[in-house]
């Protein structure tokens, strides 16, 4: 499934099916299915053209993305090349500080990096560091 660029969607604009399809690079039928069977909200039902508010479209796709979000095991990485979760080659793994801080609790951001066991591509995974008081 495509990874839609949600930033292309203007929240305050309304889109008809043709506009939605070309904006996201999907088939019109896909958009119709979103409305008919997947619960994408339209401004008014049964009118032509059907219009969807940008904010609703964005929310809908975001929720869709969340649902298929990958859950990785403790020692797994997501390899972009293999398109799946992989383990790293033994001994290739290391942890680097990114120098960034995350969230309200100001945790240090760490990056675990290694090489994919399957294709040898570099894989990264971001971690939360220890709380700094």
Residue ranges that bind Zn ion, judged by CB under 5 A:
79, 81-82, 116, 118-119, 121
The smaller minimum CB distance to Zn ion, of residues 42 and 116, is found at 116
* Token pair 């040898």: residue: 120
Which of 23-31's residues contact partners 24+ apart within 8 Å by CB, and which partners?
24/61, 26/2
User: Residue 46 CA to chain centroid, in angstroms?
Assistant: 32
Question: What contacts 34, CB < 8 A, 6 or more positions away?
Answer: 40, 60
- Least separation in angstroms between residue 93's CB and Zn ion is 14
The smaller minimum CB distance to Zn ion, of residues 50 and 79, is found at 79
Which H/E stretch holds residue 128?
Answer: strand 122-128
The smaller minimum CB distance to Zn ion, of residues 76 and 108, is found at 76
- Least separation in angstroms between residue 114's CB and Zn ion is 11
> Cα–Cα distance between 96 and 127 in angstroms, integer?
10
- Least separation in angstroms between residue 85's CB and Zn ion is 10
The smaller minimum CB distance to Zn ion, of residues 82 and 102, is found at 82
> Cα–Cα distance between 63 and 41 in angstroms, integer?
13
* Token pair 């996201």: residue: 24
- Least separation in angstroms between residue 86's CB and Zn ion is 5
């Amino acid at each position: 499934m495509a990874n839609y660029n949600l930033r292309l969607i203007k929240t305050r604009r309304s889109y008809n099916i043709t506009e939605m399809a070309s904006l996201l690079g999907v088939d019109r039928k896909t958009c119709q299915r979103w409305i008919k069977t997947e619960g994408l909200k339209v401004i008014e039902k049964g009118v032509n053209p059907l219009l969807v508010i940008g904010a609703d479209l964005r929310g809908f796709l975001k929720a869709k993305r969340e649902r298929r979000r990958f859950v990785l095991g403790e020692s797994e990485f997501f390899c972009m090349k293999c398109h799946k979760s992989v383990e790293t080659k033994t001994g290739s793994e290391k942890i680097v500080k990114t120098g960034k801080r995350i969230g309200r609790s100001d945790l240090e951001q760490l990056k675990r990096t290694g090489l994919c066991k399957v294709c040898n591509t570099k894989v990264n995974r971001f971690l939360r560091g220890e709380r700094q008081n």
